[in-house]
């Protein structure tokens, strides 16, 4: 992305991750929200522990910044008392890249593969027997032709994380015993996450300041923690360290974040859809081209939250902006002509058969 988006739910890099690690829950009981997922996880972990078996492979899906990596670390801690082995889809280009990791795993160890929708096909296929039968067929290059050697692995648990479960092949998806989808957090949960982060960072806040940040965090803990730090900077430099609602408002206004937590990129996405495409339908490719952005940025980062708050809908023909989105931006709403025309074509009560 050309410029850093303060409310982007994607991580902005290593410095931010280092800060986030210090704010990360260390055990399952410190994880806020996602009750449904946590309940099911607790049952699965207790059952596996009771049988003295490793946990079945599990897939964590959901938009960036909702806690997939956090959960993988917490699960590894609870199951093995140590962090998981970590790798990611794009960093594995060939089976050999995975080979040493796999053969070094002990029984019950957790292997975390981030962005597993970006695993190259050849690595994905190499993983299938590893996941299913705990063995791999590895081709050792040499001589005229390669020699295939079959290696037995110890029973490990693979935790896959993806922002786009839909891009995973069915074969891959079927090999996970559990699939957990993380949803956007509600405001009380975000406020609680912020309260804990404020304590860890030694920030004292007044009257509803954290709630005010929570309501502008796009349902995303990573965004909430980032806004907290930006408001802290502002409070320190411009408000004598006073951290209250009014200071939150001023700080976020400077960052051009509106009362729903939308930033310039969200607003330009919406206004292009509304103005240039008469509220749509418009394809995501066309929208990305109009704004000089990557399609992936829109699909991963911008659209999930706009869908969640009902500002856009997905139709077979493309994205459409809703009346609420138009109202929020103060732009006129254009009803879907095609949908209206199709409705009028449907046989009515008084139509001749
Ligand atoms: N349930 C939670 N409770 C408290 N803090 C959380 C929770 N979930 C996430 N966080 C905070 O948000 C930060 C981002 O979460 P995390 O890195 O786990 O997201 P992610 O889903 O892996 O994102 P990505 O898709 O970009 O990898 C964490 O460092 C942590 O501080
Ligand atoms: Mg992650």
Of 313 and 19, more confident = 313
- Of 141, 156, 181, the one marking the end of a domain is 181
For residue 1, being part of any structural domain is answered with no
The answer to whether position 211 is within a domain reads yes
List all residues 6 or more positions away from 68 whose beta carbon is below 8 Å from its beta carbon: 60, 61, 62, 114, 161, 162, 182
Rounded CA-CA distance 10/296 in Å is 12
Q: Which domain holds residue 275?
A: 264-335
Token pair for 245: 């609602």
Same domain, 49 and 160: yes
Same domain, 38 and 167: yes
pLDDT number for residue 339:
66
For residues 297-322, give the mean pLDDT.
95
Give mean pLDDT, residues 27-35: 93
pLDDT level of residue 156 (50, 70, 90 thresholds): very high
**SS3 for 34?**
coil
- Closest C-alpha residue for ligand 1 atom 12: 222
Examine the residue annotation and report whether 68 is marked as an active-site residue of this protein. yes
Counting ligand 1 atoms within 8 A of each CB, the residue from 35, 62, 66, 189 with the most, and so the one to mutate, is 66
**Higher pLDDT among residues 351 and 219, named by residue:** 219
Q: Which atom of ligand 1 is nearest to the CA of 63?
A: 25
Q: Is 322 contained in some domain? A: yes
The token duo for 252 is: 């976020």
Q: Which of 254, 281, 300 is the last residue of a domain?
A: 254
On whether residue 345 sits in a domain, the answer given is no
Residues 61 and 160 in one domain: yes
State yes or no: pLDDT of 343 exceeds 80. no
Indicate whether 2 belongs to any domain.
Answer: no
Burial (CB < 10 A; 0-12, 13-18, 19+), residue 88, is middle
The percent of residues above 70 in pLDDT, for the chain, comes to 92
How far is the C-alpha of 45 from the C-alpha of 67, rounded, in Å? 18
Q: Does 237 map to a domain? A: yes
Q: What is the pLDDT of residues 120-153, one digit of tens each?
A: 999 999 999 999 999 999 888 766 677 888 999 9
Element (H, E) at 136: strand 135-140
Which one, of 213, 225, 298, lies nearest residue 261 by Cα?
213
Residue 7, pLDDT score: 64
The pLDDT of residue 3? 46
| pLDDT over 70 (residue 349) | no
Query: What is the average pLDDT value for the chain, to the nearest integer?
Result: 91
Q: Assess contact for 1 and 8: CB atoms under 8 A.
A: yes
CA distances from 28 to 32, 277, 297, 339 (A): 9, 46, 31, 47
41 and 175 housed in the same domain: yes
Q: CB within 6 Å of ligand 1 — which residues?
A: 10-11, 20, 23-25, 31-34, 64-70, 163, 193, 221-222, 225
Phi, psi (degrees; rounded to nearest 5) at 178 = -125, 145
Is residue 319 part of the annotated active site? The answer reads no
User: Is residue 347, in this structure, part of any structural domain at all?
Assistant: no
Residue 308 maps to a domain:
yes
Residue 353 has pLDDT above 50, yes or no: no
Position with higher pLDDT, 257 vs 9:
257
pTM: 0.89
* Residue 77 CB burial class (10 angstroms; 0-12, 13-18, ≥19): middle
Active site residue 69: yes
What integer pLDDT is reported at residue 352 of this predicted model? Answer: 40
């Amino acid at each position: 992305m050309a410029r850093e988006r303060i409310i982007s739910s994607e991580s902005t890099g290593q410095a931010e991750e280092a800060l986030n690690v210090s704010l990360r829950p260390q055990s399952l009981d410190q994880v806020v929200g996602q009750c449904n997922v946590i309940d099911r996880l607790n049952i699965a972990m207790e059952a596996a522990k009771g049988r003295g078996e490793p946990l079945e492979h599990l897939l964590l899906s959901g938009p960036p910044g909702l806690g997939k990596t956090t959960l993988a670390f917490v699960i590894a801690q609870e199951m093995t008392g140590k962090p998981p082995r970590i790798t990611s889809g794009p960093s594995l280009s060939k089976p050999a890249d995975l080979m040493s990791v796999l053969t070094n795993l002990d029984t019950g160890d957790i292997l975390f593969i981030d962005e597993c929708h970006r695993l190259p096909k050849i690595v994905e296929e190499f993983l299938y027997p590893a996941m299913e039968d705990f063995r791999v067929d590895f081709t050792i290059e040499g001589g005229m032709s390669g020699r295939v050697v079959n290696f037995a692995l110890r029973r490990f648990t693979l935790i896959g994380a993806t922002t786009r479960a839909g891009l995973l092949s069915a074969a891959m998806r079927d090999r996970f015993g559990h699939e957990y989808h993380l949803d956007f957090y509600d405001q009380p949960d975000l406020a609680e996450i912020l309260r804990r982060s404020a304590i860890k960072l030694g920030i004292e806040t007044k009257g509803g300041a954290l709630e005010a940040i929570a309501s502008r965090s796009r349902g995303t803990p990573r965004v909430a923690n980032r806004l907290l730090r930006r408001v802290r900077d502002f409070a320190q430099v411009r408000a004598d360290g006073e951290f209250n609602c009014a200071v939150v408002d001023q700080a976020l206004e400077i960052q051009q974040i509106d009362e729903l937590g939308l930033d310039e990129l969200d607003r330009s996405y919406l206004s292009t859809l509304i103005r240039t495409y008469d509220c749509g339908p418009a394809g995501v490719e066309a929208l990305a081209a109009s704004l000089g952005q990557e399609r992936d940025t829109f699909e991963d980062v911008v659209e999930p939250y706009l869908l969640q708050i009902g500002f856009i809908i997905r139709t077979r023909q493309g994205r459409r902006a809703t009346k609420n989105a138009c109202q929020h931006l103060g732009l006129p709403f254009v009803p879907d002509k095609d949908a209206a025309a199709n409705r009028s074509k449907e046989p009515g009560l008084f139509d001749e058969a």
